[in-house]
Chains A and B, each alone.
Chain A
Amino acid sequence: MSWNRRKLAERFGPYILSLVILGVFILVWESLTRPPKFDPTGKSEDDLTVLEFNGDIVRNEATGKYVYNPKKVLGIPGPGKVWEKAAEELGEAFVKKGANDHGIGLLVYYTIKRFLAGFLVGSVVAVFLGVLIGLSKPLFIALNPFIQVLKPISPLAWMPLLLYSVKDPVWTAIFVVFMASLWPTVANTAFGVNSIRKDYLHVATLLEMTYLRRLFLVILPAAAPAIIAGLRISFGSALVAVVPAEMLLGELGAGYLTWIEWNNLNISGVIFAILVVGVVGYILDYGFGKLASKFTYAEV
């Protein structure tokens, strides 16, 4: 196969465009956040001494002129500052410096563990409930009002009650993720099971399948695309819930890092933490997508 210019452009064009967008973004970010030049005009010698004493400005030994203290960040930090912070954090990713100061790698690990525990348990319960409701019309009608009321409640709204009843922030955080991953899967599974093509059920009856074989060999596979779609929505909402849950509960994790850096007034750290949350979410979603594609099929 010969690679002419057109083929190359089709193949790599989008990636080059991505890089260009990233470059433009960083340039704009940098230009908007350049540290201002210190202007001493109109300031008395006493003012300057106070500023220097407070650490806001430092005297350049070579020129004898004052400049803003480069160690004290004013406004939003630029990409360079965030990069420095990131390099520092990633350098000690798995170091435990203190009870509340764990490396970023460990924090991400805690978050993923917490998230997966809540999501997996939530999904199993949700699929079970969804199949039950989807198979039985009376049960669907009976439970629907409850689901409709419970569904719009933000998972974080449960937190005070959960914290009060389980009395343990570790479990509360997992429960919040659990609640967040419940309802979309329940609703989608019930819908999927309910709208299975009658043909498949006819074949199951024809083949004299027992109830369990019918469930595992026909109903669940047939409803799999709808169940996966529900899990996907749940996945997103659980991922959104885990960060504020960590913040509010003070549980060590990627979301908690955002808050602790804010408490330290380390804005570079806040931006770094936000980026970490984004990357973690992307990796989890990518993994989920890979897994999900194994269970879906193309409709005839």
Chain B
Amino acid sequence: MSFLSIDHLTKTFPLLDENARRGDTFVVFRNVNFEIRRGEFLTMIGHSGCGKSTLLNIIAGFDRPSEGGVILEGTEVTKPGLDRMVVFQSFALMPWLTAFDNVRLAVRQAHRDWSKERIREWTQKYINMMNLHGAEKKHPTFLSGGMRQRVGLARAFAVEPKVLLLDEPFAQIDALTRLGIQEELVRMWGETRNTVFMVTHDVDEAILLSDRIALMTNGPDAELAEIVEVSIPRPRTRSTLIDSPDYIRIRNHILHFLVRGAKKAHHTGGVEVTSEQTGASSEPAISLEVAQTQT
């Protein structure tokens, strides 16, 4: 039995344009099927509109699939819970609480039987791990984007969830700050070995952080094209990554996929791209371990 199973998910939304009849729907993604191993960092990349954030919301329990289901350790996910903490693109920190209290609120909810002192110590530990020391008493409004997302990450990690869901966590953070916080996330993940599912647009970020990268074709009616194994040894830092030949190969492969996927989508309506057409076989210069998921 796998740890987290995304089992043949399809999501449709009712069609709302003016010519639509009642009951008309459009498919965001179809038949997405993959598994995440315990302790694995899996990232999903795709163009806007491929439904990757919707997929993350379904795993979180905020949204329900139209077909298929999400199974975590043998139990189907139906509603949000502390075992699947989300780090939001918009940070979603409570502006009336200090950085410390934002984290403490989560710890308190996760451990209702703990003493005040123990909750405080636990919170402080994660505040320190995220290099937030000195900013504890500040309210989110007075923190930079990078610092805010550090609080968001500390809040999520402090709960020690079974799965950590990162929804484009660094999209609203400037490029230079992003580099620092990404490396901190790598270190944090190395210490805690949480299972992580991340959604992003950023190919470099995905390669730096992930064990495997799932590529989605363009939406609507998107499908999972392939899952790329990132065969670069850990610990990784941005400086060691740049010199790694694997890094360049993987990066080129993903960029080729994204660029070609966009072209195909433009000419055919975006439903014809399959894993065979976009896989490594069509690009002989690249030799990758590619896990074909569409069996």
CB interface residues, A 183-230, toward B, < 8 Å: 197, 199-200, 202-203, 205-209, 213, 217-218, 221-222, 224
Stretch at the interface among B6-14, B91-99, B126-134, B230-238: B91-99
- Is A207 a contact of B62 with CB atoms below 8 Å? no
Interface size on A, residues (CB 8 A): 20
How far apart sit A221 and B96, CA to CA, in the bound complex (Å)? 7
B85 within 8 A of A: yes
B79 within 8 A of A: yes
- Is A202 a contact of B86 with CB atoms below 8 Å? yes
How far apart sit A31 and B96, CA to CA, in the bound complex (Å)? 54
How far apart sit A200 and B82, CA to CA, in the bound complex (Å)? 15
- Is B81 a contact of A298 with CB atoms below 8 Å? no
How far apart sit A203 and B91, CA to CA, in the bound complex (Å)? 10
- Is A206 a contact of B81 with CB atoms below 8 Å? yes
- Is B139 a contact of A208 with CB atoms below 8 Å? no
B80 within 8 A of A: yes
Tell me how far the C-beta of A300 lies from the nearest C-beta in chain B, rounded to whole angstroms: 5
Known: A206-B80, A209-B109, A298-B141. Contact between A199 and B95, CB under 8 A?
A: no
CB interface residues, B 17-40, toward A, < 8 Å: none
Q: Could you jot down 27 A-B contacts, CB within 8 Å?
A: A197-B92, A199-B88, A199-B90, A199-B92, A200-B92, A202-B86, A202-B88, A203-B94, A205-B79, A206-B81, A206-B82, A206-B85, A207-B82, A207-B105, A207-B106, A207-B110, A217-B105, A218-B94, A221-B97, A222-B94, A297-B139, A298-B139, A298-B142, A299-B141, A300-B95, A300-B140, A300-B141
Tell me how far the C-beta of A227 lies from the nearest C-beta in chain B, rounded to whole angstroms: 12
B258 within 8 A of A: no
Residue of A nearest to B102 (CB): A203
List chain B residues, Cβ under 8 A from A300. 91, 93, 95, 140-141, 148
Residue of A nearest to B86 (CB): A206
Which of A200, A205, A222 is close to B80, meaning CB atoms less than 8 Å apart? A205
CB interface residues, B 148-180, toward A, < 8 Å: 148
Tell me how far the C-beta of A203 lies from the nearest C-beta in chain B, rounded to whole angstroms: 5
How far apart sit A206 and B142, CA to CA, in the bound complex (Å)? 25
Known: A299-B141, A300-B140, A300-B141. Contact between A208 and B92, CB under 8 A?
A: no
- Is B82 a contact of A208 with CB atoms below 8 Å? yes
How far apart sit A217 and B139, CA to CA, in the bound complex (Å)? 16
List chain B residues, Cβ under 8 A from A197. 92
- Is B96 a contact of A208 with CB atoms below 8 Å? no
Secondary structure at chain A's binding surface: helix, strand, loop or mixed? Answer: helix
Tell me how far the C-beta of B139 lies from the nearest C-beta in chain A, rounded to whole angstroms: 7
How far apart sit A202 and B93, CA to CA, in the bound complex (Å)? 11
List chain B residues, Cβ under 8 A from A298. 95, 139, 141-142
Tell me how far the C-beta of B137 lies from the nearest C-beta in chain A, rounded to whole angstroms: 14
How far apart sit A218 and B140, CA to CA, in the bound complex (Å)? 15
List chain A residues, Cβ under 8 A from B60. 206
Residue of B nearest to A209 (CB): B109
- Is B96 a contact of A222 with CB atoms below 8 Å? yes
List chain A residues, Cβ under 8 A from B105. 207, 217
How far apart sit A298 and B96, CA to CA, in the bound complex (Å)? 8
Residue of A nearest to B143 (CB): A300
Known: A202-B92, A208-B80, A298-B95. 6 other contacts (CB 8 A): A202-B88, A206-B60, A206-B82, A222-B94, A222-B96, A224-B96
Residue of A nearest to B92 (CB): A199
How far apart sit A218 and B139, CA to CA, in the bound complex (Å)? 15
Known: A206-B80, A208-B82, A217-B105. Contact between A299 and B95, CB under 8 A?
A: yes
CB interface residues, A 97-150, toward B, < 8 Å: none
- Is B80 a contact of A202 with CB atoms below 8 Å? yes
List chain A residues, Cβ under 8 A from B139. 297-298
How far apart sit A197 and B92, CA to CA, in the bound complex (Å)? 9
Residue of A nearest to B161 (CB): A206
Known: A199-B90, A206-B60. Contact between A297 and B141, CB under 8 A?
A: yes
How far apart sit A23 and B79, CA to CA, in the bound complex (Å)? 69
List chain A residues, Cβ under 8 A from B92. 197, 199-200, 202-203
